[in-house]
Structure 1
Amino acid sequence: MAQISTPQPSTARALDAAAPLREAVRVPSTDLAAATDLLRGATDVTLLAHVTPDADALGSALALGLVLHRRGAAVRVSFGAPDETPESLRWLDSAGLVVPADAVPPAADLLVTVDCSSVDRLGRLGGLVEATVAGGGAVLVVDHHASNTRFGTHHVVDDGAEATTVLVAALLDELGIPLDADLARCLYAGLVTDTGSFQRARPATHALAARLIEAGADPAVAARELFGNHPFAFLRMLGAVLGRAELEPDAAGGLGLVHTAVRLDDQAGVRVEEVESVVDIVRTTAEAEVAAVLKQAGPDTWIGSLRAAGTVDVRAVAARFGGGGHRLAAGFTAHGELPEVLDRLRDALRIPVTPASG
Structure 2
Amino acid sequence: MKYDGQIAELKNLLPAAKNILIALPAGADTDRLSAALSLFLVFEAQGKQVSIVCEDTMTVAQSHLFGVDHVQKTLPQTEGGNLTLTLEGVASPDGTVPALEKLDWYAENSNLNLVFHVLAGQTFQPAKIVPRYQGSGFDLVFVIGAANLDSLGSIYRQNAQIYSGVHIVNIDNQGNTGFGTTNVVDTNAASVSEVVTFLLQDLGMVLDGDIASNLLAGIFASTDNLVSPKVNADTYMAVANCLRVGGKKPGAMPGQQIAGTIIGGMSGPVPDLSALIPPPVVSSPQPSPEERPAAEGVVSETPEPEWLTPKIFKGTSLG
TM-score w.r.t. length of structure 1: 0.51
Question: 1:180 — aligned with what?
Answer: 208
Please state if 1:101 is matched with 2:131: no
Aligned residues: 201
Pair 104,144 (structure 1): closer, same or farther in 2 beyond 3 Å: farther
Distance of 1:55 and 1:102 partners within structure 2:
21
Report the alpha carbon displacement of residue 33 of structure 1 after superposing the two structures with TM: 1.9
Question: 1:90 — aligned with what?
Answer: 63
Distance of 2:61 and 2:68 partners within structure 1:
16
Report the alpha carbon displacement of residue 133 of structure 1 after superposing the two structures with TM: 4.2
Alignment of 1:334-349 (within 5 A): none
Question: 2:255 — aligned with what?
Answer: 229
Q: Give the 3-state SS of the residue equivalent to 1:205 in structure 2.
A: helix
Q: Give the 3-state SS of the residue equivalent to 2:70 in structure 1.
A: coil
Q: Give the 3-state SS of the residue equivalent to 1:117 in structure 2.
A: coil
Alignment of 1:184-333 (within 5 A): 184-200=212-228, 201-219=231-249, 222-225=250-253, 229-230=255-256
Unaligned runs of 5+ in 2: 79-134, 259-268, 270-319
CA contact (8 A) 1:163 1:190 kept: yes
Question: 1:169 — aligned with what?
Answer: 197
CA contact (8 A) 1:119 1:129 kept: no
CA contact (8 A) 2:42 2:207 kept: no
Q: Give the 3-state SS of the residue equivalent to 1:188 in structure 2.
A: helix
Pair 127,138 (structure 1): closer, same or farther in 2 beyond 3 Å: farther
CA contact (8 A) 2:198 2:238 kept: no
CA contact (8 A) 1:66 1:95 kept: no
In the TM superposition, what whole-angstrom CA distance separates every residue of 1:252-303 from its partner, at most 9, and x where no partner exists? xxxxxxxxxxxxxxxxxxxxxxxxxxxxxxxx9xxxxxxxxxxxxxxxxxxx
Distance of 2:66 and 2:244 partners within structure 1:
20
Distance of 2:162 and 2:76 partners within structure 1:
16
**How many percent identity over aligned positions?**
24
Aligned-pair RMSD on alpha carbons?
2.7
Match of 1:50 among 25, 31, 36: 25
Higher relative contact order (CA 8 A, sep 6+): 2
Distance of 2:188 and 2:149 partners within structure 1:
21
Question: 1:117 — aligned with what?
Answer: 147
Q: Give the 3-state SS of the residue equivalent to 2:226 in structure 1.
A: coil
Please state if 1:37 is matched with 2:67: no
Question: 1:62 — aligned with what?
Answer: 37
Distance of 1:87 and 1:73 partners within structure 2:
28
* Higher share of residues assigned helix: 1
Pair 96,43 (structure 1): closer, same or farther in 2 beyond 3 Å: farther
Question: 2:48 — aligned with what?
Answer: 73
Q: Give the 3-state SS of the residue equivalent to 1:224 in structure 2.
A: coil
Report the alpha carbon displacement of residue 104 of structure 1 after superposing the two structures with TM: 6.5
Which of structures 1 and 2 has the bigger CA Rg? 2
Unaligned runs of 5+ in 1: 1-21, 236-283, 285-358
Q: Give the 3-state SS of the residue equivalent to 1:126 in structure 2.
A: helix
Please state if 1:140 is matched with 2:169: yes
Question: 1:160 — aligned with what?
Answer: 188
TM-score w.r.t. length of structure 2: 0.57
Q: Give the 3-state SS of the residue equivalent to 2:71 in structure 1.
A: coil
